[in-house]
Amino acid sequence: MQTRLNQNLLEAIDRIEKARIATDRRRIVQLVAVSKYSSKEEIATLYTCGQRAFGENKVQDLQQKASALETLPLEWHFIGALQSNKINALLHWNPYLLQSLHSLELAQALQLRLERENKNLKALMQVNSAKEESKSGFMPEVVLEMYARIQEECRNIKLCGLMSIGAHTEERAVIQKSFETTQNLFAQIKDAEILSMGMSGDFELAIACGSNCVRLGSTLFK
């Protein structure tokens, strides 16, 4: 397993580097290993290969894996649709970054709990860049306004950028357009640092569109 995962990781890093260098030599692209379909053993193995950031999309899975791997210094990213009744459970594990802040209601509910516990949480605002019904996130036309409003009203949420999932299609031009929509919004936000776009099937295109954080699952754990 170690050899296989190490090989996958090296291949992914190599492809990220090629895409990055082709667009912007000075940009650093972070790799989040999406472990939602993987076991704690696989995560521990990827850790020994040097990977530190892992992403989960269900609070229960994050809970189980984070507690089983508590002795390892892992950086947990939450990338799924967070329900209000799971907020306490998520905060208990001090996630490094909530990548999927998808609504004002969620932001307000988070703010209440954070304030009560005197904690801060770094988060990315999720953009529904292709306006797909199947996806959560803010519609592109309200992103700037809502970003400013959450910064203003939810002081314990530290917004540091945007996250988006590429359009669900085989058409490269349509995926590209969805990435560019998010890229344009990102460029208009002062002090935003993280632009999280790109999964196993489209991360090179995402990097070409300015992504500095890719979330890879299947290509790493295959």
Ligand X SMILES: *Cc1c(COP(=O)(O)O)cnc(C)c1O
As measured in angstroms, the least distance from the Cβ of 190 to ligand X is 25
Of 133 and 191, CB closest to ligand X = 133
Nearest residue to ligand X, using CB?
217
As measured in angstroms, the least distance from the Cβ of 59 to ligand X is 14
210 by DSSP, 3-state: which? coil
Of 58 and 177, CB closest to ligand X = 58
Residues that bind ligand X (CB under 6 A): 34, 36, 57, 79, 165, 199-201, 215-219
Amino acid identity at 133: E
What is the number of other CB atoms lying within 10 angstroms of the CB of residue 222? Answer: 11
As measured in angstroms, the least distance from the Cβ of 181 to ligand X is 17
As measured in angstroms, the least distance from the Cβ of 155 to ligand X is 26
Contact 167, 132 (CB under 8 A): yes
Count CA atoms within 13 Å of residue 163 on its CB side: 27
Of 79 and 185, CB closest to ligand X = 79
User: What length does the chain have?
Assistant: 222
As measured in angstroms, the least distance from the Cβ of 145 to ligand X is 24
Phi, psi of 212 (to 5 degrees): -125, 20
- Max Cα-Cα span within the chain: 48
Nearest to 69 by CA among 91, 30, 100, 38: 38
Of 74 and 127, CB closest to ligand X = 127
Contact 101, 126 (CB under 8 A): yes
Name the DSSP letter for residue 120: -
**Dihedral sign computed on CA atoms, order 91, 94, 95, 100:** positive
As measured in angstroms, the least distance from the Cβ of 67 to ligand X is 21
Of 74 and 165, CB closest to ligand X = 165
Of 63 and 156, CB closest to ligand X = 63
Contact 99, 126 (CB under 8 A): yes
